[in-house]
Amino acid sequence: MAATDSEISSNTVSQALSLRPLPEFAGRPGPLLIIVADGVGVAPPVDSNAVYRAHTPTLDALAESPLYTELAAHGKAVGLPTDDDMGNSEVGHNALGAGRIFDQGAKLVNKAIADGSLFESEHWKTAVARGLDGGTLHLLGLHSDGNVHSHTDHLYAMLRRAAADGVRRARIHILHDGRDVPSRSALDYVDATEAVLAEINAGHDGADFRIASGGGRMYITMDRYEADWAMVERGYQCHTHGVGRPFLSATDAVETMYVETDRGDQYLEEFVVVEGDAGAAGDPIGIMADGDAVILFNFRGDRAIEISRAYEEAGFTPFDRTANGAVSHPDVFFAGMLEYDGDTHVPKNYLVAPPSISRTMSQYLCAEGLPSFAISETQKFGHVTYFWNGNRSGYIDPDLETYVEIPSDNVEFNKTPGMKAREITAKTIELLETGRYRWGRINFPNGDMVGHTGDLDATIEAMEVVEECVERLMRVIDELDGLLIYTADHGNADIMYTEKDGVRSPKTSHTLSPVPFAIYDPRYEGEYHLAPVEGAGLSHVAATVLNLLGYQAPDDYNPSLITFD
């Protein structure tokens, strides 16, 4: 396999790094395996806790071992603005792989809005110029304050600034959340946004700012890892060409769909707002045209890359961007909130620079010549590769690393709660038994992806599949005289519903719960023990891994979770 430019660059950086041996411990003879049980937090043992409700004797035993603790996986511990901010898989894997805390998406955007640098950026000025030159400014993104992919406060700040800068025609294309916020909360966000638009339209002569289109985030637009291009196509056609079910307002669309289906917001179908009144409906109000500008206001990268490519990529082939084979892809200026992929440079234009994460754990271990692997299914493959490696695509060193993607099924995951955990496990065992790899990392998506559906019974079953797979992997680690780390990136499956006045409401969002961290060491004889690390979080895992492999951690890494005193 030929190395890409990004791989050559990363490899060169890795070769300049080095680690010092750890005098007290040289590691075990066998490999070290890191298991990230995505979305598995630690919460009180109540009926809403799928992690607790599941029959998991192996995981329970790990939690009772002397090498078990719990880690912060949200808020400031993973670079988010406040401790009220839920963690997510992206910042969690960044922290796991980097060994330090870096300011992340929302925090970067908050700072850029507060100090005005976002509005002084070249690409904001270009977008505004399109609006001043007869074009329309379109703002597209996840429509909630979940603060995982986006925040409506960022949208409102840009709308107000655009109006102050002289833009008089703007269209908002909303993606219902229902995943990082309550499952049927779309109307609350629509009402809030309509109030902001009314304020702008009343306060600026000639202003015409309106919601133009939308749909559920898991039905249109926000696919990731090229799992479902048809989903992106539905969103593109809706937002760009006005292809969708017509309604007179976003409120009308949501209210109608709530009557027609019991699905949560994330699965609602696409809609377009059209001109007209109760007696007649006309043309869509937000079709994109040559000379317009489009800003994607999501700050998280994984579910923003494909729609960004659809707007800006020359020679785009995943789907036909014309409408009904006739109306062509418009010549628009497109910008993202951040650069979503720093190696492939998607998008080309962005308003806020993403964090620069250097000297990741993987880079150090490649520099030491340690072969490794990374495995997950499509839904989380980028997390154990791209995010783990500091937002870098491709291999750090293709001669030392093996990345394996197990294709995800294109289904609602409560229908198949096992997902691909057994396939991930089988491939992991195959690689471990080759004897080639010194360490590896895998992600079981079940707790997160099934947890997001709000289906408690399915999530309990998902956790029992994770239990089965971890138990199998521990047996292999026994045979190979290795080590195993079991942890998670954030909570989700640990709180599946809330209850008020006897009424249960599904909770599909992440939680603020800590996550488990356990070392399974079949040969453990007290050579090390857990260190009392104040405020320990995910960023402390990297130094721990380096120690368990027989190396001292770099001086600026967050302290290891183990000590040899």
Sign of CA dihedral 19, 441, 31, 520: positive
Query: Residue 387 corresponds to which tokens in the numbers above?
Result: 């995010």
Residue 161: count other Cβ atoms within 10 Å of its Cβ.
16
Cis peptide before 347 (omega within 30 of 0): yes
The number of angstroms, rounded, from the C-alpha of 308 to the middle of its chain's C-alpha atoms is 16
CA–CA gap between residue 229 and residue 227 (Å, rounded): 7
The number of angstroms, rounded, from the C-alpha of 202 to the middle of its chain's C-alpha atoms is 37
Alpha helices (H) along 138-266: 152-164, 186-203, 229-241, 250-260
Indicate the SS3 state at residue 216.
strand
List Cβ neighbours of 26 (8 Å cut-off, separation of 6 or more).
Answer: 550
Instruction: Please say whether the beta carbons of 190 and 247 come within 8 A.
Output: no
- Phi then psi for residue 12, to 5 deg, are -60, -45
Catalytic residue (choose from 89, 121, 362, 509): 89
Query: Residue 111 corresponds to which tokens in the numbers above?
Result: 């700072």
Nearest by Cα to 231 from 297, 114, 310, 316: 310
CA–CA gap between residue 282 and residue 276 (Å, rounded): 5
Query: Residue 180 corresponds to which tokens in the numbers above?
Result: 């990082």
CA–CA gap between residue 304 and residue 176 (Å, rounded): 15
What separation, in Å, do the N-terminal and C-terminal C-alpha atoms of the chain show?
Answer: 45
Largest CA distance in the chain: 81
Q: Confirm whether 117 is a catalytic residue.
A: no
For 362-371, b/e burial (b = at least 16 CB within 10 A) is bbbbbbbebb
Instruction: Please say whether the beta carbons of 29 and 481 come within 8 A.
Output: yes
The number of angstroms, rounded, from the C-alpha of 138 to the middle of its chain's C-alpha atoms is 24
List Cβ neighbours of 264 (8 Å cut-off, separation of 6 or more).
Answer: 178, 179, 183, 184, 216, 454, 506, 508
Instruction: Please say whether the beta carbons of 491 and 41 come within 8 A.
Output: yes
* Active centre residues (catalytic): 89
